[in-house]
Amino acid sequence: MTDRAFEDLTARARIRDAAIRLFAERGMDATTVRDIAQAAGVSPGLLRHHFGSKEGLREACDQHVLEQSIKLDEAIMYEGKLATPGFMPSVHPTVMLIYRYITRALLDGSPAAGRMFDDMVRLTDEWMAKMAPGVEDRRAFAAVLVGMHAGLLAMHEHVSRNLGTDVFETEGYARMTTAIIDFYSSTLLDPDLAAQARRALQELRDDPKEP
């Protein structure tokens, strides 16, 4: 999650990065403060000094992962880095770590997981304001978009089984992401059918009949 060697990071950053890796691999409940401190090469007391508790560390990790995700999106969408040779291989380990971390975070059922989902929706809403300002209900679009992508991660075992390759490995990730690109670049609904569906849904809103 950093351009610098792990040993060159500050103690706080080493703790955070070690926690991100362990939370991604094991989940928060299965990871102890002692595990994180040992992986970071510090004492448990120093961890508590910097973050107060494992929950405080979790919040710092969530924030860092979201920030890294935003930086990657900006590099791809605004800076045209996808056209740079070697860019994708260089960021692939970080992308996989982000995916694994978010998957664990969203599935653990904690209030922190809910806050992380809400933050992802908020950030996607802000991104949509720049990329697709004409979307009528941007908040709904953002929530559905995050839910769709989170669902892919949450169901990664089923997706991997059908692809015959782990989506958290290079080949599986490439196949899954290519399918996502095809999905976004294809018009799946006939414009007339889409217009009919919008009118029907507006009619439902105007005259709801609850069961």
Element (H, E) at 37: helix 33-40
| Alpha-carbon gap, residue 101 to 114, rounded angstroms | 14
What would the pLDDT profile of 174-210 be if each residue is shown by its tens digit?
Answer: 999 999 999 888 888 888 998 999 899 899 988 887 7
Candidate from 79-83, 85-89, 92-96, 100-104 with smallest mean pLDDT: 79-83
Inform me whether the pLDDT recorded for 44 exceeds 90: yes
Q: Is residue 1 very low, low, confident or very high in pLDDT (cuts 50, 70, 90)? A: low
Candidate from 19-28, 79-88, 140-149 with smallest mean pLDDT: 79-88
Inform me whether the pLDDT recorded for 6 exceeds 70: no
Residues 109, 112, 116, 117, CA torsion sign: positive
What would the pLDDT profile of 102-128 be if each residue is shown by its tens digit?
Answer: 988 888 877 888 888 999 899 889 888
Nearest CA to 61 out of 73, 72, 46, 50 is that of 50
